[in-house]
Chain A
Amino acid sequence: MHIPDAFIPLPQAVVYWIVALFFLALAVKWARSEINEDKIPLIAVLAAGIFALQSFNLPVSMGTSGHLVGGALAAIVLGSPFAAIFILTLVLIIQAFIFGDGGITTLGANIVNMGVIGGFVGYYTYQGLLKAVKNSYVSAAIAAWLACLIPALACAIEMALAGTFPLIPGIISMGVYHAIIGIIEGIVTAVVLYILAMARPDLMDVKTGVGTA
């Protein structure tokens, strides 16, 4: 759901940039206080993995493909929605400037959707579900599904505000495609969480319940 330059008029794109920079400042503050030497390998590997996963367009039928976003994964593993904003912002900057994936003027909107909305939805859904269902992998999968779907719906609304998509058809279409992409996102998020918990349980900021789940 990387929005290209042509899809949002400049005055609106500036508004998303302002929102993105506000949250980015908070994410830098988070990074300054929370990232210690031990966490750097995990953050680097997560970012590289998210970059690779995002380049992989999986077929989701109906003439459409989709790739993972990774916002929920970053937020859950590092225990903060700001982790998602931090990592996703860096990945999105690289994608836009070097690979032409997502626009430059629309980079702010893409950070807001995938980093901010994806990170917050993913993190808080996970925290809420974990209390209810007591299974970190099920919680993470559902959180990741929502963290794919909700940013897509936000994107559809932004497209309607921009006059690029009509509101209802845009919401239906973005919703249907990303509800399917989100299922893959959910499964991969749970699997990656499991692998990370096996490899480096000490780095995880969440109780994953490996061995008990």
Chain B
Amino acid sequence: MMDNKTFIAAGIIVAILIGVIAVFMASGDPDGLESSALVVSGQKELTGLSPEDGDAEVVGTGDFAYESPMPDYSLGEEMGSTGGILAIIAGIIITLVVVIGATYAIRLKNEGSKS
């Protein structure tokens, strides 16, 4: 059985490996929801290939827009796959920090209410 440190280290390494492989291997096809949007807007057959220049957002009606710092898990075209790897690693570290932080915050409050 692994101790906590080994377990966390192994977990982070596995997560980073998955993320890095994803940068190179991930499919460029639209995801299930976007693909469905293409189907219902007549840009794609249910079982057919997705159009190169398909626009899934065409079915949307909302006009709220938000510019994220690392859209599509990348740092922009010019950074290429290096940017993708950095974005994924940043995401994994942010996730760890946020989850551990949130968990401790909840627990601290818990202990505070007990005393």
- Secondary structure at the A interface, as helix, strand, loop or mixed, is helix
Q: A90 — which chain B residues lie within 8 A by C-beta?
A: 95, 98-99, 102
B32–A152 CB distance below 8 A? yes
A62–B59 CB distance below 8 A? no
A98–B94 CB distance below 8 A? yes
Q: A31 — which chain B residues lie within 8 A by C-beta?
A: 102-103, 106
B35's nearest neighbour on chain A, judged by CB, is A64
Q: Complex formed: what's the CA distance from A177 to B12 in Å?
A: 30
Q: Does A19 contact B (CB under 8 A)?
A: no
Q: B88 — which chain A residues lie within 8 A by C-beta?
A: 52, 55
Q: Complex formed: what's the CA distance from A55 to B22 in Å?
A: 7
Q: B2 — which chain A residues lie within 8 A by C-beta?
A: 199-200
B27–A65 CB distance below 8 A? yes
How many residues does chain A have at the interface if contact means C-beta atoms less than 8 Å apart?
79
Nearest CB of B to A85, in Å: 13
How many residues does chain B have at the interface if contact means C-beta atoms less than 8 Å apart?
70
B1–A155 CB distance below 8 A? no
A32–B110 CB distance below 8 A? yes
Partner pick for B48 among A33, A62, A178, A181, CB 8 A cutoff: A62
Q: A156 — which chain B residues lie within 8 A by C-beta?
A: 36
Q: Complex formed: what's the CA distance from A173 to B30 in Å?
A: 13
Smallest CB-CB A-B distances: 6 pairs: A6-B60, A45-B11, A100-B68, A63-B50, A65-B27, A56-B22
Interface residue ranges, B against A (CB under 8 Å): 1-2, 4, 7-8, 10-12, 14-16, 18-19, 21-22, 25-33, 35-37, 39-40, 44, 46-50, 56-57, 59-73, 87-88, 90-92, 94-96, 98-100, 102-104, 106-107, 109-110
